[in-house]
Amino acid sequence: MSVVPAQVEAVAPPQGVSFGEALKFWLKLGFISFGGPAGQIAIMHRELVEQKRWISERRFLHALNYCMVLPGPEAQQLATYIGWLMHRTWGGIAAGALFVLPSLAILIALSWVYLAFGNVEWVAGLFYGIKPAVAAIVLHAVWRIGSRTLRHPAKVPLLWLIAIASFVAIAILKIPFPWVVAAAALAGVIGGRYVPEQFAVGGGHGAAGKSYGAALLDDHTPTPAHAQFRQSRLAMVVAVGALLWLAPMALLVAAQGWDGTLAQMGWFFTKAALLTFGGAYAVLPYVYQGAVENHQWLTGAQMIDGLALGETTPGPLIMVVAFVGFVGGWARQVLGPDALFLGGALAATVVTWFTFLPSFLFILAGGPLVESTHGKLGFTAPLTAITAAVVGVIASLALFFLAHIARDRPTLGLPFDAVALLIAAAAAVALFRFKAGVIPVIAGCALAGMVLRLAGVA
């Protein structure tokens, strides 16, 4: 009965990963990270835990638990954390930056096409097919992450109850995400004290650390020297972070004044970055209110189109802010009427810088503290409960996607978009039954959407 685990454990860990090899992976990840945070985390788990074995599942989930409670895009922060753990500060910066830069470049190009050429039928068809694919990808990711995060104990499955309760709280009761996080953390504190066996593995399944063989950063691998907490290092990271915020802001204010479009974008999206608990959808109402209603950098219809672009490009969903920046920079002509593209690209870059800078600081400053808690149940039990709650939140996001595409337009004589739901079902079958990759599924659905739209079916 123990033959299979013994054979798996006998597999030697990787001998080492060079910075160049890691760089290639992080660049690849930046181009294939579709499906929002759930899909991106699932991709990293498959690549880093199951296939490459650069990090064990328990350490992966321990880092993920920390990223889940931070404001900002958790998948990008997880990449930054693992990159930092493997290759020090520059490793974290490279991993986090390459997670964002491909998306930024793609969104700048798509935003330009959107503004310069307007609505093109075949392009609309591509987006029509991609939206259901994204819904199916999120559903698949919920299953993948949930199956590894939620335990199946013999007694009352507390983590499952927490996940279900969080789903109900978000999807039905509309309780703000920070309150869900606080309630889950409290449940973890109490549960870790009275039923510690249900929280002892850091949120993973019972075979965590054994299913895929020994990892380079395994469960009992000592914390690297650079990842150990030092007050002097913390002070230096905070000081450098403050400088990296103040210097570009001072340049923007000097160039156009505090009331200038670029300075106001930098200040607004700094505040937004600190409010993104629960991912992009938790902060979108705030961004909509500020960017559309208060500053009027773009219209409500443009905001919805930008969200569609953010959903269908690689990178964090919060990258929709790059679209907001580009459209606002274009509309306000921040570099003059003869440099609309350059003005939009500059605004998109400014917005991205101020949105993601706090994420890097949270990881580089807080990472050593998190590593010092590795394996300590008093710290990990609340984070395990929070991860279970986030599984429910991601499930509510999948439901939101499905409801959104169903309401798009009536098709096939039905009062809802049956064609879009059929595309989503086909994508789900490809993912669940045939184990198809994310890219082929998105490409196939995009092609199907274009053909159906041009044929007048959708």
- What pLDDT, in 10s, does the model give residues 97-124? 999 999 999 999 989 988 887 567 787 7
Residue 396 has pLDDT above 90, yes or no: no
Is the four-CA dihedral 146, 150, 153, 157 of positive or negative sign? Answer: negative
Q: What is the pLDDT of residues 139-177, one digit of tens each?
A: 887 787 677 667 655 455 888 899 899 899 888 887 876
Quote the pLDDT of residue 4.
42
Quote the pLDDT of residue 177.
67
Cα Rg of the chain, angstroms: 22
Q: What is the mean pLDDT of residues 178-202?
A: 79
Least trusted range by pLDDT, from 32-36, 71-75, 122-126, 204-208: 204-208
CB 325 within 8 A of CB 336: no
Inter-CA distances, 27 with 20, 33, 97, Å: 11, 10, 9
Token pair of 340 as six digits = 């609309």
Average pLDDT, the chain: 83
Report H helices in 118-211: 121-149, 158-171, 177-194
Higher pLDDT, 42 or 164: 164
pLDDT tier at 278, thresholds 50, 70, 90: low
Q: What is the largest distance, in Å, between two alpha-carbon atoms of the chain? A: 73
Q: What is the mean pLDDT of residues 275-280?
A: 60
CA distance 129 to 452: 9
pLDDT tier at 204, thresholds 50, 70, 90: very low
Least trusted range by pLDDT, from 1-10, 37-46, 168-177, 350-359: 1-10
pLDDT tier at 206, thresholds 50, 70, 90: very low
Is the four-CA dihedral 351, 352, 358, 361 of positive or negative sign? Answer: negative
Residue whose structure tokens are 């930098």: 266
Residue 191 has pLDDT above 60, yes or no: yes
pLDDT tier at 293, thresholds 50, 70, 90: confident
pLDDT tier at 205, thresholds 50, 70, 90: very low
Residue 420 has pLDDT above 70, yes or no: yes
Q: What is the mean pLDDT of residues 59-69?
A: 81
Quote the pLDDT of residue 270.
93
Q: What is the mean pLDDT of residues 396-414?
A: 80
Quote the pLDDT of residue 281.
57
Higher pLDDT, 65 or 226: 226
Residue 431 has pLDDT above 80, yes or no: yes
Residue 330 has pLDDT above 70, yes or no: yes
pLDDT tier at 376, thresholds 50, 70, 90: low
CA distance 57 to 203: 10
Quote the pLDDT of residue 275.
67
CA neighbours closer than 13 Å in the CB half-sphere of residue 348? 29
Least trusted range by pLDDT, from 5-9, 39-43, 151-155: 5-9
Residue 377 has pLDDT above 70, yes or no: no
pLDDT tier at 269, thresholds 50, 70, 90: very high
Residue 435 backbone phi and psi in degrees, to 5: 55, 35
- % of the chain residues with pLDDT over 90: 36
Quote the pLDDT of residue 274.
82
Least trusted range by pLDDT, from 47-51, 138-142, 321-325, 413-417: 138-142
